[in-house]
């Protein structure tokens, strides 16, 4: 009798809700909340990894990405841990809201398939889109329709003009370590003012409480994901035992996350670690301890003074929705369970002609997106590029309206036309 036993779906472990597997490395992925950022990472942020966002100078675009990450955690039903030593955290006022699939279908008009075919060329209508507005990015995971994982999309569609509902925040599993509470815990006799060790012990206790991959679970039991958000790590408000406390913190944090169902997103003020415009060597060591590193270089924060930024924001109509707000620099891509990053095989921005050197981001009224950077049209779109017929400047110099030029006389039929 053969010892081969077929694995049926009932005996296989269930993946956590709002997750999917990487087709290249079989790594479990979660969404950052921004579809274009998920595309740059190779489909999503790998579970057990650390994503570092290097903050842009004097502007707050990195906080927008952190708010997307937190809202996606609440929409997916994941547990959320927020650490911020710089300011107090108010989720109900800071996180963007989203529209559920049922609401979108009820409010949106019914689209005709024939009209869509008339608008989109046949050779492009079947291509996948990076943007999360289409239904392709909101498809459910494969499986039974009665399971919870099949009812939650991988990435929600968020609207920056909406605020998250207070009932969602009250029912969510959220742990907050903001400025006041973190300072009180770190000032205890156990830590002696070391905030890094205090945060590390708190994260370790959360992972041991049901998110460790080393502890088995019962059969047919669905695991959940722990999302960790750390804002402005290494800023002036963070107190450590020595100058290398941030390196020790990231090294230990990465070791803890490797054997857990947890994922971490960190914002890092790299502009504070500069000397005469040159970054200190410790920045490179910090980037090496993270799995993915992306830098936001805004046009306003790099080429303008703080007074210019305030004046530009106060001026109405200073920028349009067609303008880019800065560049996106990719310093490191996730390579968990693989020697090479899977972004070259799975990314639409890279395979569609984009690269790590020509990516830009823009912040519209409703969403944040990363796109391939294109130069604007010469002369702008507000100027008339073709002169009017009655404009005297449109004629050649030396030729009047009734004169004879290279072509026919104005008002008469061209003899060269057959």
Exposed/middle/buried for residue 165 (C-beta within 10 Å: 0-12, 13-18, 19+): middle
Residues belonging to the chain:
418
CB 408 within 8 A of CB 415: yes
Q: What is the model's pLDDT at position 342?
A: 73
pLDDT at residue 73 is higher than 80 = yes
Could you give the CA distance from residue 230 to residue 250 in angstroms, rounded to a whole number?
Answer: 12
Exposed/middle/buried for residue 109 (C-beta within 10 Å: 0-12, 13-18, 19+): exposed
Tens of pLDDT, residues 260-316: 999 999 999 998 998 888 899 999 999 999 999 999 988 876 655 555 555 555 554
Tens of pLDDT, residues 340-364: 777 666 677 765 444 556 889 999 8
pLDDT at residue 408 is higher than 90 = no
Between these two residues, 410 and 57, which has the higher pLDDT value? 57
Give the H/E segment covering residue 332: strand 326-332
pLDDT at residue 192 is higher than 50 = yes
Could you give the CA distance from residue 25 to residue 23 in angstroms, rounded to a whole number?
Answer: 6
Q: What is the model's pLDDT at position 218?
A: 74
Q: Model-level pTM?
A: 0.77
pLDDT at residue 114 is higher than 50 = no
Minimum mean pLDDT range among 30-34, 88-92, 118-122: 118-122
**Quick check: helix, strand or coil at residue 324?**
coil
Most confident of 96-105, 154-163, 403-412: 154-163
Phi, psi of 229 (to 5 degrees): -120, 120
Q: What is the model's pLDDT at position 291?
A: 94
Tokens (6 digits) for 24: 């290249």
Is the dihedral angle over the CA atoms 387, 391, 393, 395 positive or is it negative?
A: positive
Q: What is the model's pLDDT at position 219?
A: 73
Q: What is the model's pLDDT at position 138?
A: 46
Give the H/E segment covering residue 61: helix 61-76
Q: How do strand 174-177 and strand 226-231 relate by DSSP bridges?
A: unpaired
Region 238-264: mean pLDDT is: 94
Which letter does DSSP use for residue 212 in this model?
B
Give me the chain's average pLDDT, please.
78
**Quick check: helix, strand or coil at residue 29?**
strand
Q: How confident is the model at residue 15 (pLDDT cuts 50, 70, 90)?
A: confident
Tens of pLDDT, residues 371-380: 888 776 655 5
CB 41 within 8 A of CB 32: yes
Q: What is the model's pLDDT at position 337?
A: 78
CB 194 within 8 A of CB 48: no
Between these two residues, 179 and 309, which has the higher pLDDT value? 179
Beta bridge partners of 158: 98
Between these two residues, 37 and 397, which has the higher pLDDT value? 37
Minimum mean pLDDT range among 184-188, 244-248, 392-396: 392-396
Helices of type H across 99-242: 101-107, 113-119, 166-171, 179-186, 195-208
CB 401 within 8 A of CB 392: no
Could you give the CA distance from residue 170 to residue 161 in angstroms, rounded to a whole number?
Answer: 21
Kindly report each contact of residues 304-311 with a partner whose C-beta sits within 8 Å and lies 24 or more positions away, as own/partner: 306/58, 309/58, 309/59
Radius of gyration of the chain (CA): 27
Q: What is the model's pLDDT at position 263?
A: 96
Give which of 376, 325, 371 is closest to 352, Cα–Cα.
371
Could you give the CA distance from residue 237 to residue 239 in angstroms, rounded to a whole number?
Answer: 6
Q: What Cα–Cα distance (Å) separates residue 408 from each residue in 38, 98, 124, 390, 414?
A: 59, 62, 43, 17, 5
CB 226 within 8 A of CB 77: no
Q: What is the model's pLDDT at position 12?
A: 61
């Amino acid at each position: 009798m053969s010892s081969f036993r077929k694995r049926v779906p009932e005996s296989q472990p269930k993946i956590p809700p709002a997750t999917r597997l990487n087709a290249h490395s079989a790594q479990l992925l979660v969404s950052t909340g921004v579809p274009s950022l998920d595309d740059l990472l190779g489909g999503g942020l790998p579970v057990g990894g650390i994503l570092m966002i290097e903050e842009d100078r004097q502007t707050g675009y990195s906080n927008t990405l952190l708010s997307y990450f937190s809202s996606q955690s609440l929409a997916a039903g994941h547990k959320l841990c927020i650490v911020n030593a710089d300011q107090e955290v108010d989720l109900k006022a800071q996180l963007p809201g989203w529209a559920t699939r049922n609401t979108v279908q009820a409010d949106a008009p019914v689209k005709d398939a024939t009209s869509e075919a008339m608008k989109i060329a046949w050779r492009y209508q079947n291509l996948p889109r990076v943007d999360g507005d289409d239904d392709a990015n909101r498809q459910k995971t494969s499986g039974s329709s009665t399971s919870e994982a099949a009812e939650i999309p991988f990435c929600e569609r968020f609207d920056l003009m909406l605020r998250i509902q207070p009932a969602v925040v009250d029912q969510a599993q959220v742990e907050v370590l903001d400025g006041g509470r973190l300072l009180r815990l770190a000032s205890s006799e156990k830590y002696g003012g070391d905030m890094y060790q205090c945060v590390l012990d708190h994260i370790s206790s959360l992972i041991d409480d049901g998110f460790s991959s080393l502890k088995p679970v019962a059969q047919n039991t669905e695991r959940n994901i722990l999302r960790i958000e750390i804002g402005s790590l290494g800023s002036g408000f963070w107190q450590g035992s020595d100058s290398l406390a941030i390196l020790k913190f990231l090294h230990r944090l990465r070791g803890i996350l490797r054997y857990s169902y947890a994922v971490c997103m960190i914002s890092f003020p790299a502009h504070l670690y500069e000397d005469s415009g040159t970054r200190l060597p410790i920045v490179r060591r910090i980037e090496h301890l993270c799995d993915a590193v992306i830098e936001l270089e805004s046009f306003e924060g790099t080429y303008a003074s703080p007074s210019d930024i305030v004046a530009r924001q106060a001026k109405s109509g200073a920028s349009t929705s067609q303008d880019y707000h800065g560049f996106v620099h990719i310093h490191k891509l996730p390579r968990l369970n693989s020697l090479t990053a899977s972004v070259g095989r799975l990314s639409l921005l890279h395979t569609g002609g984009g690269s790590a050197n020509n990516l830009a981001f823009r912040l519209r009224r409703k969403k944040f997106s990363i796109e391939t950077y294109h130069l604007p049209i010469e002369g702008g779109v507000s100027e008339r590029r073709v002169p009017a017929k009655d404009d005297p400047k449109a004629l050649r110099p030396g030729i009047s309206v009734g004169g004879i030029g290279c072509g026919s006389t104005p008002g008469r039929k061209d003899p060269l036309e057959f």
